[in-house]
Structure 1
């Protein structure tokens, strides 16, 4: 792992995180019915900061390994999907489309973990908190969709 590679992956992660600054949850989200397992508000920036850091470290570790092309393609796909979810869900308030994006992201991250495992199992382990958080986030997205009919787009 080189410092330059780590900085590139952190920069991409920061770009994804910026959508959370641009498209804030706000009053619309606060008014939605949410399940009891909804994490407290403070947990979201803490979790995402850790996930972005771990993901960048994992990617920087595998980037120089032979055969890393597919793993890095999956990393690129997940960061693009990650960047997309926030404006879809919070910006456009398209809860169902957000569900499609987050499920696609979940499958992509699971595939990325497998690809990373084949190259460097330690890097793959760094991605497990991401997968766990996405399971919670997907469950939250689904319950909001289910429990708030007609809330999309308002």
Structure 2
């Protein structure tokens, strides 16, 4: 375990998490029509905390492997898109644009998982719950956008 490298990846995840802490869903989101299967609010910070630790650990594992540049480039893309989604969806209140961002995030997470799996099966497996959660989040974003489409710009 390279603690310095792990903390570097965890710091990058913390930057993504900070957008969620700084830009709260608030009254606007509460007023939207949501599907019946929307997780309770307390689930989101719990799940994201676990996922960010796994994402950071997987990144550290792969960073220690020669020839991991392409996989780590995808890691960088996914964390950038992860960071972008909250300000777009909750900050700008752009559900349609948020849907585009989260679909791109899903692709980046899948590509990261694929690249990690080829180099380190454990790192690849650590991305599986993340891909599942982003799949759920994408469906939730799409559903909220669809249910409220008459009242939105993008």
- What is the TM-score of this pair, normalised by structure 2? 0.97
Cα RMSD after superposing both structures: 0.9
Q: How does 1:24-63 map to 2 (within 5 A)?
A: 24-63=24-63
Residue ranges of structure 2 left out of the alignment (5+ in a row): none
Please give the alpha-carbon distance, in whole angstroms, between the structure 1 residues aligned to 2:149 and 2:72: 38
Q: How does 1:5-154 map to 2 (within 5 A)?
A: 5-152=5-152
Please give the alpha-carbon distance, in whole angstroms, between the structure 2 residues aligned to 1:51 and 1:81: 15
Give a deviation string over 1:62-81, Cα, whole Å, max 9, x none.
10101100111000000000
Please give the alpha-carbon distance, in whole angstroms, between the structure 2 residues aligned to 1:109 and 1:52: 13
Question: How many residues of Structure 1 are paired with residues of Structure 2 in the alignment?
Answer: 153
What is the deviation of 1:41?
0.5
What is the deviation of 1:22?
1.4
What is the deviation of 1:152?
3.1
- What is the TM-score of this pair, normalised by structure 1? 0.97
Partner SS, residue 151 of structure 2? coil
What is the deviation of 1:151?
3.4
Residue ranges of structure 1 left out of the alignment (5+ in a row): none
Please give the alpha-carbon distance, in whole angstroms, between the structure 2 residues aligned to 1:126 and 1:62: 11
Give a deviation string over 1:31-53, Cα, whole Å, max 9, x none.
10000111110000001111100
Partner SS, residue 103 of structure 1? helix
Please give the alpha-carbon distance, in whole angstroms, between the structure 1 residues aligned to 2:88 and 2:46: 22
Partner SS, residue 65 of structure 1? coil
Partner SS, residue 88 of structure 1? helix
Please give the alpha-carbon distance, in whole angstroms, between the structure 1 residues aligned to 2:18 and 2:24: 10
